[in-house]
Each structure stands twice: as C-alpha cells, then as structure tokens.
Amino acid sequence: MKKISLLFFAIMVAVGFSSCDPYSKLLKSSDLNLKLTKAKEFYNKEEYEKALPLFEEVLATFRGTKNFEAVYYYYAWCQYGSENYMMAAYHFKYIAENFPSNEHAAECEYMSAFCYNLLSPDVNLDQEDTKKALEAMQLFINNHPEDERISKANEIIMALREKMELKATRAAELYYNISSYKAAVIAFKSVLKEYPDTKKADYLNFSILKSSYDYATQSTPAKKEQRFNETLTYYFNFIDKFATSKYAKQAQRIYDDSKSQLEKLKNNNNN
C-alpha cells in the first residue's frame, strides 16, 4: 500500500507540474494571436517541435483569411526544420501551386524539389524520390529561368542524373555478371541513350562490345556467325570514337578473336 501511495503521489506531482507548464497552458489557450506569436518565437529559436502544433491550430482557423498564406509559409518551413522532408515537400508545393502570386512562390517551388532531393536514397535503393526530385527541379528551372537559384538547381539535377545513371549502369552490369549477355547489351545501350552526355561513354560502349562478344561465344554454331559479325560492328563503333581509351587493347583482343572465330566458321562451312 505504501508503494502504491508513493506512485500515486508521484503521478499527481507530475500532473501538477504539467498543468503549470507554460507550454501546456499555451496549447490550451484560446488566444490565437498569442499562439501565432509564440509559434513564430519557437520557430526563430529553431524549436520546431513546439512551433508545429501551434501553427497547425492557427492554420485551421485562419484558412480563407488574408493571413493564411503567411502562416502556411511558416508552417512549411517548420516541417523542413523538423526534417519532415516529405511533408515539407508537399506543403511547399501546395503554396507554389495554389498561391502563384505569393512573393515566396518560386522559393517554395524550389524548396519542394530540394526536399525530394534530400529524400533521394542510396543508389542501391529504389529511386522513386530521385525521379520526383529531378522532375520537380526541372520544372522549377523551366518556370523560373532567371531565378537566383538556377545555378544550384542545375548542380542538383546533374548530381541526381549521375545517381540515376549509376543505378542503370549497375543494373546492366548485373545482367552481364549473371551471363545474360543479350540483356546486358540492351541495358548498356539504354544507359547510353538515356544519358548521352555521360562521362563513361567509353566504358559503356566497351561493355556493349564485351557483352556482344560473350553472347556470340556462348551461342550455338548456327548463330555464331551472325553474332560475331555484330560484335565486329560494335568494335568499329567503339574504336572509331575511343581509339585512345584505356579499354582499346581489350577491344582489340575481342576483335582479333572474333575475326579468328569467323575464319574457323568459314573453313568449317567449306569442308
């Protein structure tokens, strides 16, 4: 009984302190102007977790009034400050789309895209948020070509595209590593088509050549001639563009062996 009494006393003391807590009193207050003032104070002190509930209540009441946009802007930034990037992206986008004449509309459109950029995961994971970031940032650039954030936006797009390119390249490499050489050829070609300005053009073209060669090598005799000839075509395409590449010697060996294989096939057909 003594232990129960002590526990009850401790709970009552905690409740008593809680009821006296200024923040708890603020939450229970019906003074919206006070709540808005305090929410801004918490925001400026970067106490976002305290500011958020206050902004949420004020927003619900201010909807449809002249103050709504200004409060909503604070609220979106508060979500960002709390590292709730998905929510921040949504609310920044809402401001940009629903209040296009707002002085912060362009900034909010950029911030929505930037939040998706922050959500972009490691290259080994699904890249849906990376795609959203790319689309949103490109839309920002299209809509605000003279904005001061354009340079930064282009840097972000470049980094995101490099991540997407790496993801696609690794997928193509996986096809090669599991000996799905035909699929590898198609996948490496797709990377080149999707990212024509890639810095790894020589590697990708060589990978197409190598995949084609291995595909020809493992083919049935009836298919070898056609596929080694395709390999030669890929070799000429590679060497024409990348004669000084570090892959040139390997490409030459593939060419030499492909020619040798074709000669053997020709001799066997003549016998």
- Domain range summary for the chain, segments of one domain joined by +: 179-271
Between 2.60.40.10, 1.25.40.10, 3.30.70.920, 3.20.20.10, what CATH number should domain 179-271 receive?
A: 1.25.40.10
Q: Which residues of the chain have pLDDT under 70?
A: 1-20, 271
* CA dist., res. 172 & res. 180, Å (int): 10
Q: Which of 58, 108, 46 is nearest to 82 (CA)?
A: 46
CA distances from 51 to 54, 55, 88 (A): 5, 6, 14
Q: Which helix (H) or strand (E) holds 214?
A: helix 201-217
Q: What is the pTM of this model?
A: 0.82
pLDDT (0 to 100) of residue 18:
46
146-182 pLDDT, tens per residue? 999 999 999 999 999 999 999 999 999 999 999 999 9
Tokens 């030459």 locate to 252
Helix, strand, coil percent content, the chain, rounded in steps of 5: 80, 0, 20
DSSP alpha helices (H): ranges in 45-149?
48-62, 68-81, 85-98, 105-119, 128-143
Task: Please enumerate in sequence order all residues whose Cβ is within 8 A of that of 25, keeping only pairs 6 or more positions apart, or say none.
Answer: 19
Q: Which of 251, 245, 248 is nearest to 233 (CA)?
A: 251
Torsion over CA: 71, 72, 74, 79 (sign): positive
Residue 174 is encoded by which pair of tokens? 């996986």
The b/e string for 5-28 (b: 16+ C-beta within 10 A; e otherwise) is eeeeeeeeeeeeeeeeeeeeebee
* CA dist., res. 194 & res. 38, Å (int): 51
pLDDT (0 to 100) of residue 271:
62
